[in-house]
Amino acid sequence: MINYIVRRVLWAIPVLLIISLVTFGLGHAIPGGPFDREKPLPVEIIANLEAYYGLDDPLWKQYTDYLWNALHGDFGPSYSSRSRTVNDIISDHFPVSAQLGVLALMVAMVVGIPLGMVSALKQNSSLDYFCMFFALLGVSVPAMTLGPLLVWFFALKLHILPVARWGTWQQAIMPAFALGIGSAALLARLTRASMLQVIREDYIRTARSKGVSEKNVTVHHALKNALIPVVTVIGPMFAALVTGSLIVEQIFAIPGCGKYFVTSITNRDYPVVLGIMLLYAVLIIAANLLVDITYAWIDPRIKYT
Amino acid sequence: MEVKLKEKKQIIGETFIPERPEVNLWKDAFRRMCKNKMALLGAVIITVLFIFAIFAPYIAPYHYAEGSLKDNFAQPGSKFLLGADFMGRDLLSRIIYGIRISLSVGIVGAVTAFVIGVFYGVISGYYGGKIDNIMMRIVDVMYGFPTLLLIILLMVLFKSTFSVATPGTFAGYLNTIDRAFGGLFFIFIGIGVTSWIGMARIARGMALSLREKEFVEAARATGNSNLQIIFKHVLPNLIGPCIVRVTLAIPGYITFEAFLSFIGLGVNPPTPSWGMLISEGYKAMRSFPHLAIYPGLALAITMIAFNFMGDGLRDALDPRMK
pLDDT tens per residue, range A48-107: 888 777 777 788 888 888 888 888 888 888 887 778 888 888 888 888 888 899 999 999
Between chains, do B154 and A26 touch, taking CB under 8 Å as contact?
Answer: yes
Instruction: Evaluate the CA torsion angle B165, B168, B173, B176 in order and state its sign.
Output: positive
Contact with chain A for residue B299, Cβ under 8 A: yes
Q: Can you tell me whether residue A266 is helix, strand or coil?
A: helix
Q: Which residue of B has its CA nearest to A27?
A: B153
> Which ranges constitute the DSSP H helices of B128-167?
129-144, 147-163
- Mutation target for B interface from A145, A158, A262, A263: give the one with most B CBs within 10 A: A145
Q: What is the pLDDT of residues A168-181, one digit of tens each?
A: 777 778 888 889 99
Q: A73: alpha, beta or left, given left = phi > 0 and alpha = psi -120 to 50?
A: left
Q: What is the pLDDT of residues B4-29, one digit of tens each?
A: 555 555 555 555 566 666 667 677 77
Report the gap between the CA of A182 and the closest CA in chain B (Å): 12
Q: What is the pLDDT of residues A21-43, one digit of tens each?
A: 998 888 888 877 777 777 777 88
Question: Does position B70 have pLDDT exceeding 80, yes or no?
Answer: no
Per-residue pLDDT at A148: 87
Q: Which of A280, A277, A272, A283 is nearest to A75 (CA)?
A: A272
Per-residue pLDDT at B16: 59
CA of residue B86 relative to chain centroid, distance: 31
Q: What is the pLDDT of residues A239-273, one digit of tens each?
A: 888 888 888 888 888 888 888 888 888 888 888 88
* Type and span of the H or E element at A200: none
Between chains, do B307 and A139 touch, taking CB under 8 Å as contact?
Answer: yes
Give B89's strand partners: B67
Share of chain A above pLDDT 70, in %: 98
Between chains, do A11 and B140 touch, taking CB under 8 Å as contact?
Answer: yes
Angle subtended at Cα A77 by Cα A256 and Cα A56, rounded to the nearest 5 degrees: 135
pTM over 0.90: no
Between chains, do B304 and A250 touch, taking CB under 8 Å as contact?
Answer: no
> First-to-last CA distance in chain A?
7
Picking from A27, A265, A281, the nearest residue to B146 by CB comes out as A281
Q: What is the pLDDT of residues B96-113, one digit of tens each?
A: 888 988 999 999 999 999
Residues in chain A with CB shorter than 8 Å from the CB of B265 are 262
Cβ neighbors of A76 (< 8 A, separation 6 or more) are: A66, A69, A70, A85, A86, A271, A274, A275
Question: Does position B1 have pLDDT exceeding 50, yes or no?
Answer: no
Between chains, do A288 and B281 touch, taking CB under 8 Å as contact?
Answer: no
- Mutation target for A interface from B149, B294, B304, B314: give the one with most A CBs within 10 A: B149
CA atoms within 13 A on the CB side of A20: 23
Q: Which residue of A has its CA nearest to B251?
A: A140
Between chains, do B299 and A148 touch, taking CB under 8 Å as contact?
Answer: no
- Contact by Cβ (8 Å): B72, B88: yes
Picking from A247, A265, A273, the nearest residue to B262 by CB comes out as A247
Burial grade of A226 (CB within 10 A; 0-12, 13-18, 19 or more): buried
Q: What is the pLDDT of residues A265-287, one digit of tens each?
A: 888 888 888 888 898 899 888 88
Per-residue pLDDT at A269: 85
Contact with chain A for residue B258, Cβ under 8 A: yes
**Average pLDDT, rounded, for chain A:** 84
Cα B103 to Cα A61: distance, rounded to the nearest angstrom: 45
Between chains, do A152 and B145 touch, taking CB under 8 Å as contact?
Answer: no
Burial grade of B78 (CB within 10 A; 0-12, 13-18, 19 or more): exposed
Per-residue pLDDT at A106: 92
Between chains, do A281 and B145 touch, taking CB under 8 Å as contact?
Answer: yes
Per-residue pLDDT at B322: 45
Q: What is the pLDDT of residues B300-312, one digit of tens each?
A: 999 999 988 888 8
Residues in chain B with CB shorter than 8 Å from the CB of A267 are none
Angle subtended at Cα B113 by Cα B111 and Cα B117, rounded to the nearest 5 degrees: 125
Q: Which amino acid is at A148?
A: P
Q: Which residue of A has its CA nearest to B322?
A: A193
Q: What is the pLDDT of residues B277-291, one digit of tens each?
A: 888 888 877 777 888
- Contact by Cβ (8 Å): B237, B190: no
Give B90's strand partners: B84
Q: What is the pLDDT of residues A182-241, one digit of tens each?
A: 899 989 988 988 888 888 888 888 888 888 888 888 888 888 888 888 888 888 888 888
